[in-house]
Structure 1
Amino acid sequence: MDITIHASFLPHTDPDSALNFYRDILGFEVRNNVGYNGMHWITVGPAGQDTAIVLFPPEATPGLTDDERKTISEMMAKGTFGSISLATKDLDSVFDRLQAAGAEVVQEPTEQPYGARDCAFRDPFGNHIRIEHLR
C-alpha cells in the first residue's frame, strides 16, 4: 500500500496564540488560515514536508453536546486532550528555543529507558508536544 500521513488535528482556542506558537516559535510554515462564522482553522507544517497539523476550534466539531464541549475544554486545560510527537536532530537547541520563548516545559531532555532521548512541552492550549532526538 502507498499510504502516507497527511494531517493530524489539534484543538486551539486562539488563532493568534496558535500562530505565535506553531509559526513563530516552532518555525512551521502556515499552509492554510481560514476563518468562518467567527471560528478559525489553521494548517501548519514543517517546510519541505507534506505532513501537516490542522489547528481547529473544538467548538466546530459537529454533533458535540454542550456537556461534551465542556469536557473537552476541561481536558484541554489539564493537557490531556490533544498530543503530537515531533522529532529533531538538535533536541537541545529546540528545547532551549521553546523554553526561552516561554513554552510550558513538561519534561526537560531526558534519556528514556526505552532508548529515546526526548523532551515535552504544552502548547498554549494544553496540547502535549513530545519532541524526540533523531540519532
Structure 2
Amino acid sequence: MTISLEYAHVTVNDVEESLGFYRDGLGLEVLNDVAHGEFRWVTLGSPAQPGLGIVLSAPHAGRSQADGDALQELLTKGVLPMVMFSTDDLDALFEKVSSSGVGEVLQEPTDQPWGPRDCSFRDPSGNMVKVSQAS
C-alpha cells in the first residue's frame, strides 16, 4: 500500500491577489481554475512534484457562513498553519519573491542551527510561507 499527499488547502482573502505570490513569485503553475457562483478555487502545482496541488480558496468558499466567519477570523489573526516549500536555489527564489513585491519578507535566507537553510514570507493574506534549501 502507498499513500501520498494530493492537495493542501491555503485559505486566502483574494484568490487573484494571491496568484501574484504563489504563481508569479514562487513560480507555481496553475493546474485548475474553478469558479462556482461567487467563489473560486485555483489549484497550483510544480513540475518538480507532479501530483501535488496547492488549492487557494477564500474562507467562505464551500463552507457555511459560521465556518467561513471563523476561518476568516483565524486568517485575519495570521494564525493558520504555515506552508513549507523547498527549492534547489533558495537565494534565487528569495530574490525573485522579494523583488516581486507580492509578499512580505519575514526572514532572509538563514542557516538554521537545527540544519536547514531557509527564509520566510507572508503572502498577501497574511499566511506564513517558509522555503528551505533542498538537500
Q: TM-score, normalised by structure 1?
A: 0.88
2:83 corresponds in structure 1 to 84
Hey, what does 2:33 align to over in structure 1? 33
The answer to whether the aligner puts 1:74 opposite 2:73 as a matched pair is yes
Q: What aligned pairs does 1:54-69 form with structure 2 within 5 A after superposition?
A: 54-63=55-64, 65=66, 68-69=67-68
Tell me what 2:12 maps to: 12
Offset at residue 61 of structure 1 (A): 4.3
Unaligned 5+ segments in structure 1 are: none
* 1:100 matched residue in structure 2: 99
Corresponding position: 1:21 with 2:24: no
Q: CA RMSD in A?
A: 1.6
Runs of 4+ in 1 over 4 A off after TM superposition: none
Contact 2:106 2:122 in 1 (8 A): yes
Mapped to 2, the partners of 1:96 and 1:32 lie a distance apart of: 27
Over the matched positions of the two proteins, sequence identity in percent amounts to: 37
Secondary structure, counterpart of 1:92 in structure 2: helix
User: What TM-score does the superposition give when structure 2 sets the normalisation length?
Assistant: 0.88
Report the secondary structure of 2:23's partner residue: helix
The alpha carbon displacement at 1:100 in A equals: 0.5
Within 2, Cα distance between the matches of 1:82 and 1:126? 11
The residue type paired with residue 76 of structure 1 is L
Paired residues in the alignment total 133
